[in-house]
Amino acid sequence: MLTLGIDSSGLLLTVALCRTGEVVASRSVEQRRQQGEVLLALVDECLVQAKSELGDLAALAVVTGPGSFTGLRLGIAASLGLARSLNCALTGYDRFTLLRTPETALVFESLRADVFVQIPGHEPQMLLPADILSRWPGAVAGDGVAKLMALDPARPVAPLPLAAELAAQKVYADLQAKRELPPATPYYLRAPDVTFPAAL
């Protein structure tokens, strides 16, 4: 069974292909503007490497966030279009669910002063880097750690696996176990930026 994982929610855009739960191809590029066509090109590259075709895909798993609003929408929109046209299963997993460990605080870039964070034992939230450091003494991981390192260069940073690869593996495992697949809905964690219209 071939499963595809897509993660466009972070600073790195990743597409990964798994066969029976084993990663057989994985491509990552730094997120830039116009990454939409890059995302679909990465899908092609993975398929070529795995000597497979789009029609072979049994399921898609997209990383739903939190992260760049625009980025995660790109991944979900592309996944919705692929899943409908290929008539294959589609699900979404958030980054905390995929990457959570009991020893590490996960910190993801939000392009704001505060970052998306999950401290072990706590719900995901948005915090300023200094607040994270004061509340959590242990290791940190994720694409938002640079802001923490600027304040505490000695803080241990744990490596993280690629969420797209984990997503492709997890959907395979969930299908094998006949678990219900969660919908591919965005996990924003932050309310919309509301800009009131300019004064008349």
Partner 1 sequence: MLALALESSCDETAAAVVDGKGTILSSIVFSQLAQHRPYGGVVPEVAARAHLERIDELTAEALHTAKVTLPDLDVIASTCGPGLIGGLLVGVLYGRALAKGSGKPWYGINHLEGHALTARLTHKVAFPYLLLLVSGGHTQLVWVSGVGQYKRLGTTLDDAAGECFDKAAKLLGLGYPGGPALEKAAQGGNATAFELPTPMLGHKDCNFSFSGLKTAVRHKVVGLGTPTPEQVRDLAAATQSAIARTLADRTARALEQAPQRPTALVVAGGVAANSEVRARLTTLAQGKGLELIAPPLNLCGDNAAMIAWAALERWQTGIGPFDDGHPRPRWPLDAAPASA
Residue with tokens 């497979």: 52
Number of residues that bind partner 1 (CB under 8 A): 32
Helix/strand/coil for 40: helix
Asked if residue 80 binds partner 1 (CB under 8 A), the reply is yes
Asked if residue 118 binds partner 1 (CB under 8 A), the reply is no
Tell me which stretch binds partner 1 (CB under 8 A): 14-22, 68-76, 91-99, 162-170. Answer: 68-76
Question: Which residues, 140 to 199, sit near partner 1 by CB under 8 A?
Answer: 185-186, 188, 192-197
Tell me which stretch binds partner 1 (CB under 8 A): 34-42, 115-123, 139-147, 149-157. Answer: 34-42
Least Å distance between CB 82 and partner 1? 5
**Cis geometry, peptide bond prior to residue 161 (ω within 30 degrees of 0):** no
**Cis geometry, peptide bond prior to residue 66 (ω within 30 degrees of 0):** yes
| First-last CA distance in the chain | 58
Asked if residue 39 binds partner 1 (CB under 8 A), the reply is yes
Asked if residue 15 binds partner 1 (CB under 8 A), the reply is no
Q: How far apart are CA 174 and CA 149, in angstroms?
A: 36
Nearer to partner 1, 62 or 145 (CB): 62
Helix/strand/coil for 166: helix
Asked if residue 123 binds partner 1 (CB under 8 A), the reply is no
Tell me which stretch binds partner 1 (CB under 8 A): 23-31, 39-47, 129-137, 164-172. Answer: 39-47
One residue of 20, 22, 48, 84 binding partner 1 per CB under 8 A = 84
One residue of 68, 79, 110, 118 binding partner 1 per CB under 8 A = 79
What is the residue-wise DSSP string for 49-118? Answer: HTT--GGGEEEEEEE--SS-HHHHHHHHHHHHHHHHHHT-EEEEE-HHHHH-BTTEEEEE--SSSSEEEE
Report the alpha-carbon angle 96-100-101, nearest 5: 165
Under the rule (CB under 8 A), what is the footprint of partner 1? 34, 36-37, 39-40, 43, 54, 69-70, 73-74, 76-86, 185-186, 188, 192-197, 200
